[in-house]
Amino acid sequence: MPPIPPPDQTAPPDAARRRAAAPVICYPPDTLPPVDRAWTAAIRRALRPVRTTRVPPRDGRAVRVARGQIVRIVCPEGPQVGDLNLWSAADPSERFYSGKTRALHGAHVSAGDRLWSTFPHLRPLATITHDTLAWYGIDADGGAVHDVIGTRCDPYTARLLSGDSYHRCCHSNLTRALADALDCSRAEAEPLVHDVLNVFMCTGFSADTHQYFMKASPVRAGDYLELYAEVDLLVGLSACPGGDCGAEHSSDAAPCHPLDIAVYDTDPALHRPAPAPSAYDRSHGA
């Protein structure tokens, strides 16, 4: 078969004008309720520790967090990235929607951003109330922490690219953790595992090729990302085999450390009602 000829890629005479079109934010979040800073400060003032679950390196855990509780994803020792999944405890088919959260709040999230759920619910499962890495900002490479870009390291892509089977990827760690939490089989749990919030991971897109890059996480022992549970949650976390994700993942090569999931009670007088699911009637024009 002859090769398919390349399309004519000659730039049109008005190419410069076309490239100069003004960017428009796709989903301006201006109509969302603003962050209530006074409420955030109040609810953070009286945290009472309930329990802390340690996530061993290259492993996962899932814990239940009640509406109104606060949960911290903590880096207790060496630099370590965590892959976070959230499910509604009442119906785990309602789960964190990484892509729509990215569309609404940007590629990296921090305090004040909400973590939205899948269709047809599209409501906040959690709100970020504190981020000890908020100082990092956007670095000279365009990198920032806590991304909702990446999918999660997984054995299928690892197999595709290397030909090897690796069982300690975040996808598998989260699958085992969710199966344990729901007391179901791994085959039942696996389809509920979803694209993640990469806690502590420092990522961006390369300026020249727009490829997804990672660089060593700036996280230090004691840093945490703190969430308020807007609904009863199952919180799944994998301590990524990439460690600080400064070199590679999907292998046993990187030094890895544990993570903690710390749950706190808060003042019930300050609890908010669970957000209502989307009011769209789902008729889709029929």
Interface residues with Zn ion (CB under 5 A) are: 83, 153, 170, 240
In the bound state with Zn ion, the residue whose beta carbon lies nearer, of 70 and 144, is 144
In the bound state with Zn ion, the residue whose beta carbon lies nearer, of 158 and 231, is 158
In the bound state with Zn ion, the residue whose beta carbon lies nearer, of 71 and 153, is 153
Q: Which of 234, 277, 270, 237 is nearest to 68 (CA)?
A: 270
In the bound state with Zn ion, the residue whose beta carbon lies nearer, of 104 and 109, is 109
| In the complex, least distance from residue 242 CB atom to Zn ion, rounded to whole angstroms | 5
In the bound state with Zn ion, the residue whose beta carbon lies nearer, of 128 and 240, is 240
DSSP 8-class letter at 164: -
Rounded to whole angstroms, how far apart are CA atoms 12 and 175?
50
| In the complex, least distance from residue 261 CB atom to Zn ion, rounded to whole angstroms | 16
In the bound state with Zn ion, the residue whose beta carbon lies nearer, of 82 and 275, is 82
| In the complex, least distance from residue 196 CB atom to Zn ion, rounded to whole angstroms | 8
| In the complex, least distance from residue 159 CB atom to Zn ion, rounded to whole angstroms | 15
Do residues 117 and 278 touch, judged by C-beta distance below 8 A?
no
| In the complex, least distance from residue 33 CB atom to Zn ion, rounded to whole angstroms | 33
Half-sphere exposure of 65 (CA within 13 A, CB side): 36
Rounded to whole angstroms, how far apart are CA atoms 86 and 196?
8
| In the complex, least distance from residue 192 CB atom to Zn ion, rounded to whole angstroms | 17
174: Cβ–Cβ under 8 A, 6 or more apart, which residues? 60, 62, 83, 85, 152, 193, 196, 236, 237, 238
Q: 3-class DSSP state for residue 243?
A: coil
In the bound state with Zn ion, the residue whose beta carbon lies nearer, of 192 and 240, is 240
Instruction: Give the β-pairing of 197-205 and 212-215.
Output: antiparallel
Rounded to whole angstroms, how far apart are CA atoms 200 and 259?
11
Asked if omega into 155 is within 30° of 0 (cis), the reply is: no
| In the complex, least distance from residue 65 CB atom to Zn ion, rounded to whole angstroms | 22
